[in-house]
Structure 1
């Protein structure tokens, strides 16, 4: 036991009776560590997703346009998330990942709480950038730890469990955010979800012991020879047609899916006039629950099916993402929130099968000293390109389309007549109705257009499968990358 680290978890070794040598094995400690990493990732996404349900009241109080909402959930968060992510990945490939992760959890939690104190768009952007700085270490450090806690044949399953932090964090974020919003306002919601992260940071530091790096790859020849540089890792990924198509698919899925996450809550408020507690429960039981089922179920299906043919590692994501496109479009075409919710659940169940297999495939392309870097390269594409441009461009599209639709209904400029997307105080019912109709219809059309493009990432997952070696054995699988 290291000094100052109570309740550490030991990583045991088991005896390989066939070879007579000692090899690392998955222990109870590995599962406990994975549980804590899941909690960290849940908190990461709780802090991120809560803004989606608080977007409309923030927009109304601070008089923001939709492009500003897109900026808050996009570049304000993702730019520094990506910039800091690369040095964090290099630190995670060389330094103490548990310490790095613990400090970053504490930092992003403080920044989330400070968002509740912002009095202007600029302040809110700065605090959101701080959240991005803190969260930059979450995926690279966690993925690197998981790869040293679980052997290759168990990684997809472990990544699927870890990946549950995304939908479960979103589930908690929208439920807590909606309830607190209705009772105490959006500022209190930010404080309530931010401050508990300090306890999670302490738990991470006290319980997870830093595992031996590359403990499952000692005899593997399919690794980088050393802690490859960023360029070496990037080139290894790009030269692999499988990894290259996986990264393109991840980026495309994020680009066309991010507007749905950002504007789902505002659309339902604008179209159906729901309460925020009610909205939080609806989103949690449809989009978030469906995504959780898809993330875990898809990982388990991949784990089982790939024993017979490795190409199912990519076929499952391809089929799921392709099926989600028409379902998402049908959901947003509904005239009632009940119809939207029912079909949205089905679309979410089939859509989120791709995250765990994608990261597991990328990790099989590089060695143990390059996995955190591989994760942050994928995060760069997801965060800066997809999450950065997706919500911003969608917000700009909503603003332009809403202005056009408003000009058809009423005379005058949309931004002056409908500040924050709603009619100014004291306006007549006709103007209020025109503002509401223009914003809700514009939001609906933009979201539907983006989600119809889900066929794009599905095609790249199919392309990745085409480059994989055909294997139909039930042995532990290793795809040719």
Structure 2
């Protein structure tokens, strides 16, 4: 399978778009991913004001953070992936950006739990199209030995988006509190958290014309969509590598979203930080770790693929998930807000590195006809397990495992540690196969 894929990619090299067109597409898609994560996660910075204004419990807030977004994100993921394998990916992405940007603005206008929940559902529906379609575009725009770096650059959008949601959100809240927007008609008198939602939803509309300048690359296949039976066959091939990577992304996602959803609140409740201080600290932690993991993970995986073959990329996940275990354990024992943020940075270094490497591993273990579908499947699993359960598990563990609101940090550490240990166990068989493949090439 690997040899035939290499031959096909080499034969089609002449039809690959120019490097400048490829990197322009990566830059615009990275910007779209940044905005998607900003709009997805901005709610985490204003949990307590929303809870107070709408009279919500922590569990209801967690549903807005997680399940409200994740359910439709999961349900729409696979259909969007199948669409991306058969229609113009650029236009599908543009439609998604339009929908989620408008829905983020609608979050700021919500009057109760259910109207907020409906707006979050629409955010999830719009974002479901982005990563499958963008991944398919990037794979067709770059040669096999540059895909790791290209996908790593694209994933920077998630890193900067997570940091931007917290850092820029904190800055905007400061400006709002200072009265910078008080004279703006219609919205100036809104509560700060409402105005914040509206302001972060607007940039998506400015990005649309730039996205439409991306040149759709020629499809690297002519056989059309694979039958579902063939899709399932590829998921189970090579010791179920693709399926296992999908599963570990979901399991580890529970830890990701448990920490991202509640760390800003922990820093404010337990360590007395302001929203700006909490957002800046978490944003700095995930940005530094994310940039390092995205670029180093992509480039290192390319180097390993060139030296020992593409099937050995997966061994890098061993180091990535070891880091997540160390980060989760450190959260349990952190005594200050700075220590908690540093522990989160260690977690993020491993988690984001694993995301980038796993992304390429999945793409290289399936034919071109199902690349977007494969990514969509991983996003569906991540949405159901990670986004859907992660934020809600924390208050549930607090209530039923530790018996009090003062144990938020212990619950966060417990959820993330269990998630990282499970991910390590699930991914071990493909890692073992990767080591065997590397030894055979020595």
Which bracket does the TM-score occupy, shorter chain normalised? 0.7 to 0.9
| Residue from 386, 407, 413 that aligns with 1:442 | 407
Q: Computing the radius of gyration over CA atoms, which structure comes out larger, 1 or 2?
A: 1
**SS in structure 1 of the partner of residue 368 of structure 2:** coil
Cα separation, partners in 2 of 1:179 and 1:81, compared to 1, 3 Å: same
**SS in structure 2 of the partner of residue 335 of structure 1:** coil
Per-residue CA deviations over 1:363-419 (Å, capped at 9, x if unaligned) read: 1222222111111111111112221122223232234457x33xxxxxxxxxxxxxx
Find out whether 1:191 has 2:198 as its counterpart.
yes
State how far apart, in whole Å, the 1-side matches of 2:131 and 2:15 are.
27
Find out whether 1:460 has 2:426 as its counterpart.
yes
Cα separation, partners in 2 of 1:244 and 1:91, compared to 1, 3 Å: closer
Q: CA deviation at 1:323?
A: 2.5
State how far apart, in whole Å, the 1-side matches of 2:285 and 2:267 are.
13
| Residue from 35, 41, 51 that aligns with 2:33 | 41
State how far apart, in whole Å, the 2-side matches of 1:57 and 1:228 are.
48
State how far apart, in whole Å, the 2-side matches of 1:352 and 1:25 are.
28
Corresponding position of 1:173: 165
Unaligned runs of 5+ in 2: 1-9, 177-191
| Mean Cα deviation higher: 111-120 or 81-90 | 81-90
Find out whether 1:105 has 2:97 as its counterpart.
yes
Contact 1:245–1:460 (8 Å) recurs in 2? yes
State how far apart, in whole Å, the 1-side matches of 2:270 and 2:49 are.
15
State how far apart, in whole Å, the 2-side matches of 1:143 and 1:22 are.
21
State how far apart, in whole Å, the 1-side matches of 2:153 and 2:289 are.
15
State how far apart, in whole Å, the 2-side matches of 1:93 and 1:121 are.
36
Corresponding position of 2:284: 285
Find out whether 1:372 has 2:372 as its counterpart.
yes
Corresponding position of 2:396: 396
Contact 1:317–1:354 (8 Å) recurs in 2? yes
Relative to the length of structure 2, the TM-score reads 0.87
State how far apart, in whole Å, the 2-side matches of 1:235 and 1:53 are.
43
Corresponding position of 2:146: 154
Q: CA deviation at 1:336?
A: 1.6
Q: CA deviation at 1:171?
A: 1.2
| Residue from 25, 28, 46 that aligns with 1:54 | 46
State how far apart, in whole Å, the 2-side matches of 1:23 and 1:195 are.
37
Higher helix proportion, which one? 2
Corresponding position of 1:434: none
**SS in structure 1 of the partner of residue 306 of structure 2:** coil
Corresponding position of 1:212: 218
Corresponding position of 2:181: none
Corresponding position of 2:265: 266
| Mean Cα deviation higher: 347-356 or 446-455 | 347-356
Contact 1:159–1:360 (8 Å) recurs in 2? yes
Unaligned runs of 5+ in 1: 1-17, 219-224, 406-438, 476-481
| Residue from 406, 416, 431 that aligns with 1:451 | 416
Contact 2:323–2:349 (8 Å) recurs in 1? no
Corresponding position of 2:234: 236
| Residue from 108, 111, 133 that aligns with 1:116 | 108
Per-residue CA deviations over 1:333-363 (Å, capped at 9, x if unaligned) read: 2222122233333333333211122121111
**SS in structure 2 of the partner of residue 369 of structure 1:** helix
Per-residue CA deviations over 1:457-477 (Å, capped at 9, x if unaligned) read: 1233332122346147999xx
Q: CA deviation at 1:324?
A: 2.4
Contact 1:314–1:462 (8 Å) recurs in 2? no
Find out whether 1:96 has 2:88 as its counterpart.
yes
Contact 2:324–2:351 (8 Å) recurs in 1? yes
State how far apart, in whole Å, the 2-side matches of 1:473 and 1:462 are.
19
Q: CA deviation at 1:27?
A: 1.9
Relative to the length of structure 1, the TM-score reads 0.80
Corresponding position of 1:200: 207
State how far apart, in whole Å, the 2-side matches of 1:134 and 1:25 are.
28
Contact 2:258–2:390 (8 Å) recurs in 1? yes
Contact 2:66–2:390 (8 Å) recurs in 1? yes
Corresponding position of 2:344: 344
Q: CA deviation at 1:138?
A: 0.4
Find out whether 1:308 has 2:274 as its counterpart.
no
Corresponding position of 1:421: none
State how far apart, in whole Å, the 1-side matches of 2:366 and 2:326 are.
35
Pairing 1:317-328 to 2, within 5 Å after superposition: 317-328=317-328
Q: CA deviation at 1:182?
A: 3.7
Contact 1:157–1:299 (8 Å) recurs in 2? yes
Paired positions, count: 414
Contact 1:109–1:131 (8 Å) recurs in 2? yes
State how far apart, in whole Å, the 1-side matches of 2:413 and 2:347 are.
13
Per-residue CA deviations over 1:69-99 (Å, capped at 9, x if unaligned) read: 2211222111111222222222211111111
Cα separation, partners in 2 of 1:62 and 1:333, compared to 1, 3 Å: farther
Cα separation, partners in 2 of 1:466 and 1:107, compared to 1, 3 Å: same
State how far apart, in whole Å, the 1-side matches of 2:251 and 2:365 are.
21
Q: CA RMSD in A?
A: 2.4
Find out whether 1:381 has 2:387 as its counterpart.
no
Q: CA deviation at 1:103?
A: 1.3
